[in-house]
Amino acid sequence: MKKKPTTVAFKGTHEQELELDRLIAAHKDDPGALMPVLQGAQEIYGYLPEEVQRHIGLAMGIPFEQVYGVSTFYSQFSLNPKGEVAIAVCLGTACYVKGSGGILDKISSILDLAVGETSRDGKYSIEATRCIGACGLAPVLTINNEVYGRLTVAQVEGILKKYM
Amino acid sequence: MVRSTVLICGGTGCSSSGSAKIKDKMVEEIKAAGLENEVKVVVTGCFGLCALGPIMIVYPEGTFYSRVTVEDVPEIVSEHLLKGRIVKHLAYDETVKDNEILSLNDTAFYKKQKRIALRNCGVINPENIDEYIGTDGYQALGKVLTEMQPQEVIDVIKASGLRGRGGAGFPTGMKWQFAANQPAGKKFVCCNADEGDPGAFMDRSILEGDPHALIEAMAIAGYAIGSDQGYVYVRAEYPIAVQRLQIALNQAREYGLLGKDIFGTGFNFDIELRLGAGAFVCGEETALMTSIEGKRGEPRPRPPFPAVKGLYGRPSILNNVETYANVAQIILKGADWFKSMGTEKSSGTKVFALGGKIKNTGLVEVPMGTTLRDIIYEIGGGIPDGKKFKAAQTGGPSGGCIPEKHLDTPIDFENLAAIGSIMGSGGLIVMDEDNCMVDIAKFFLEFTVDESCGKCTPCRVGTVRMLEILDKITSGNGTLEDIDKLEELCNYVKSASLCGLGQTAPNPVLSTLQYFRDEYVAHVVDKKCPAGVCKNLMRYVIIEDKCKGCTACARKCPVGAITGTVKQPHVIDAEKCVKCGVCIETCKFGAIVKQ
Ligand SMILES: Cc1cc2nc3c(=O)[nH]c(=O)nc-3n(C[C@H](O)[C@H](O)[C@H](O)COP(=O)(O)O)c2cc1C
Ligand code: SF4
Ligand code: SF4
Ligand code: FES
């Protein structure tokens, strides 16, 4: 999986750093703690900025290369901040055979934004996801965790308008 | 006194369509009607009929309300719960016959099912351990710890013929035996809840609907192989499952069913959760264990097998969620009972996640040996919109597409392999005449290319080459030689890759080549996509006779490719058209077609 590092400047707060340190301390004695720590850090920051990964490496005594190796291996870890309106279209098999590819194209063309990218102003991001487990409602998309199911291409514009 | 129980599905499917709001409204309305002491509201796991969600069942009548909305709730309360009159127009139409309301079990969807792994899903409240205990929960663990020797446990599982439900179908008892035979010391019991097949949700539903069944079985496995520590590796994308599992673990610990000295027998066992982070290859057993250790989840060569050297270098077993979900029942009801279901070599049942072009999308559990035709047409209700069946896909990115002529094959591990697919974990996606099989092959290959961990060259490079050829074919630049080259590459990647991901990645291509070669040929020779999916091979045209000249399409086309005057047939400029499909949807007269 190829991942593009972000071009957005890091804007972490002191509170976030304190929370991160608490998280690291809580996992101090677990073997295999790197994954849970990265998952927690992503919850704190919304993504995994390089600065945060370096901090984790130092605090846990793990070389940065190894931290980076793990964060780039798993698709759940995001090196890019998501948009305020984070759109994710399911490209799992059940959704794909019911035409979610067309829905993704449509969103991408309305917002003039490529899949996997965040708009420059940080407002929108589009992502293709794997099955979110709502196959019964295929095709589905989520916007900021709100699920929209049984979609047709024609409905897309109306849904996006709610967030514009 | 409670005289009615309202079950509301809280699985991912129904939650996504708003079941939480319906539950809140229900509780509110029941209170307003002063029924709070007479009606109990229970949030359960998945009932299986996700297509009809949000779902609500009212007992004692067993009335099945489908596609319930918040607005429907007051009527259900005032009519059904208060006055005892079933709200017919909200009941699932298959259950309404003449003037009678049928029990859910008599509907086509449930009649042919046999629920073992799913027995509690949609029946009990998964967040309440007492309800699990009320349906014989933790009895098997009690029996094992107090009446059986570890070897006896393994013998029963062996005799039952239970095989792994995660894909490969390896005999579970044998796996446990290998680990048990290792010298005593630290050993691990792992559960694969990574459910990597995109479009499958069996394991998730069990975790959401009956998490204690998994916990009990892992403790039994721990006793059998001599382990005191379990790990469940579960997808982080399943937040509800993770939460329910966590609640269940806490409750089991509170009740002394996990932890030290369980049932006062001196047996210790506890379970930790580890969240996967979205890497398909981590479903492979050695990769999964490496990932639990907090590293990049890359597979390693076997032997040594995990039963000898697994997690942290210790003897470990790994089983799938559904495999575990059968264990307690086998212990309680016996190996013969389990063997009485299914086929000679594949005993018991299998859960399938029905999806795609099928009426009743959802979860079904059927005895092994049921035919695909029964699953798709009887239980699944067939293909919607009068379309023609084309293929059934099992096994996800590692499986194959099964054509019409094999629909009567009784499905079990061997038979599916014989027709070029695999059982897989249970995803079953139905495709109709509108799906292009070359495009589907490409879809799966894109998935594999994305998910290949890159450790070995045949998989890393071979799958990319295969995808390039498929790209060439679907964009209209392929030749007949390309098809042969593709087949050759498939066989190479299959035989030379290190792990199961690479070894099975060519299956979707090989099976579509085997059964739908004519579609490949149409793409390269006639430069046509028969299903009208591959964009580069199709054109949008307006049928002159049907066009009323309403101008609707011309106004909607984003690139101004449609021209014409009012009340005159319009035309599409193929040069300008970006094939977005908007015009087809806009035209009320069906005058625009893809060719
Ligand atoms: C690439 C790959 C992905 C896999 N994904 C899963 C999965 O998501 N869930 C699963 O249970 N087994 C998966 N397996 C199979 C596991 O390696 C393993 O065989 C299985 O979990 C063992 O449990 P069982 O014997 O109970 O089936 C996968 C295998 C491979 C090679
Ligand atoms: S076959 Fe593919 S996924 Fe498996 S080890 Fe090789 S590169 Fe990695
Ligand atoms: S398919 Fe899209 S671009 Fe082509 S004519 Fe129709 S609306 Fe215009
Ligand atoms: S394939 Fe889209 S939710 Fe499952």
Structural domains of chain B sorted by starting position, each given as residue range(s) with its CATH number in brackets: 4-106 (3.40.30.10), 129-338 (3.40.50.11540), 349-432 (3.10.20.600), 437-526 (1.20.1440.230), 539-594 (3.30.70.20)
Q: What is the pLDDT of residue A2?
A: 52
pLDDT above 90 covers a percentage of chain B that reads 79
Q: What is the pLDDT of residues B431-458, one digit of tens each?
A: 999 999 999 999 999 999 999 999 999 9
Q: What is the pLDDT of residue B412?
A: 94
pLDDT above 70 covers a percentage of chain B that reads 100
Task: Find, among B259, B246, B199, B217, the residue nearest to B425 by Cα.
Answer: B199
Residue among A37, A73, A144 with most chain B CBs within 10 A, to mutate: A73
Q: How far apart are CA B79 and CA B266, in angstroms?
A: 55
Whole-model pTM: value is 0.90
CB count, 10 Å around CB of A98?
A: 27
Residues of B in contact with A34 (CB under 8 A): 294-295
Q: What is the pLDDT of residue B44?
A: 92
Q: Position of tokens 């000898």? A: B308
Q: What value does the mean pLDDT take over residues A53-73?
A: 93
What does DSSP assign to residue A118?
B
Interchain CB distance below 8 Å, A140 and B585: no
Q: How far apart are CA A152 and CA B535, in angstroms?
A: 18
Q: What is the pLDDT of residues B221-237, one digit of tens each?
A: 999 999 999 999 998 88
Over 50: is that where the pLDDT of B100 sits?
yes
Longest distance between any two alpha carbons in chain B, whole Å? 87
Give the residue on A whose Cα is nearest the Cα of B239: A132
Confidence of residue B16 (pLDDT cuts 50, 70, 90): confident
Length of chain B: 595
Over 70: is that where the pLDDT of A3 sits?
no
Element (H, E) at B333: helix B321-333
Q: Is the CB of A132 under 6 A from ligand 4?
A: yes
Dihedral sign from CA coordinates of B586, B589, B590, B592:
negative
Q: Could you identify the atom of ligand 4 that is nearest to the CA of residue A138?
A: 2
B424 touches chain A (CB under 8 A): no
The shortest C-alpha distance from A10 to chain B (Å) reads: 23
Dihedral sign from CA coordinates of B47, B48, B54, B57:
negative
The CATH fold assigned to A85-161 is Glutaredoxin (3.40.30)
* Distance set, CA A119 to CA A1, A77, A115, A129, B579 (Å): 22, 19, 11, 18, 25
Q: What value does the mean pLDDT take over residues B341-363?
A: 94
Confidence of residue B311 (pLDDT cuts 50, 70, 90): very high
Q: What is the pLDDT of residue A8?
A: 66
> Are the C-beta atoms of A67 and A34 separated by less than 8 Å?
yes
Residues B294, B298, B301, B307, Cα dihedral to 10°: 40
Burial class (CB in 10 A: 0-12, 13-18, 19+), B89: exposed
Q: How far apart are CA B221 and CA B202, in angstroms?
A: 21
* Helix-then-strand count for chain B, H and E: 25, 20
Q: Which residue has the higher pLDDT, B2 or B212?
A: B212
Q: What is the pLDDT of residues B376-398, one digit of tens each?
A: 999 999 999 999 999 999 999 99
Q: How far apart are CA B429 and CA B295, in angstroms?
A: 33
A98 touches chain B (CB under 8 A): yes
Q: Could you identify the atom of ligand 3 that is nearest to the CA of residue B562?
A: 5
Q: What value does the mean pLDDT take over residues B120-148?
A: 95
Q: Position of tokens 């190796």? A: A69
Interchain CB distance below 8 Å, A33 and B581: no
In the beta sheet, which residues pair with residue B353? Answer: B363, B427
Over 50: is that where the pLDDT of A1 sits?
no
> Are the C-beta atoms of B201 and A135 separated by less than 8 Å?
yes
Q: What is the pLDDT of residues B41-53, one digit of tens each?
A: 999 988 888 888 8
Q: What is the pLDDT of residue A154?
A: 86
Helices B150-160 + B211-225 axis angle, to 10: 120
Q: What is the pLDDT of residues A68-117, one digit of tens each?
A: 999 999 988 988 888 999 999 999 999 999 999 999 999 998 999 999 88
Confidence of residue A146 (pLDDT cuts 50, 70, 90): confident
Q: What is the pLDDT of residues B414-429, one digit of tens each?
A: 999 999 999 989 999 9
Burial class (CB in 10 A: 0-12, 13-18, 19+), B303: exposed
Pocket test for ligand 3, best of B547, B556, B562 (most atoms within 8 A of CB): B562
Confidence of residue A7 (pLDDT cuts 50, 70, 90): low
A114 touches chain B (CB under 8 A): no
Residue among A130, A140, A145, A152 with most chain B CBs within 10 A, to mutate: A130
Interchain CB distance below 8 Å, B453 and A135: no
> Are the C-beta atoms of A29 and A68 separated by less than 8 Å?
no
> Are the C-beta atoms of B268 and B228 separated by less than 8 Å?
yes
Q: What is the pLDDT of residue B140?
A: 97
Which of the given ranges, A124-138, B12-26, B513-527, has the highest pLDDT on average?
Answer: B513-527
Dihedral sign from CA coordinates of B25, B31, B33, B35:
positive
Q: What is the pLDDT of residues B523-579, one digit of tens each?
A: 999 999 999 889 888 888 899 999 999 999 999 888 899 999 999 999 999 888 888
Q: What is the pLDDT of residue B443?
A: 95
B386: left (phi over 0), alpha (psi -120 to 50) or beta: left
Longest distance between any two alpha carbons in chain A, whole Å? 53
Interchain CB distance below 8 Å, B362 and A136: yes
A26 touches chain B (CB under 8 A): no
Q: How far apart are CA B468 and CA B246, in angstroms?
A: 44
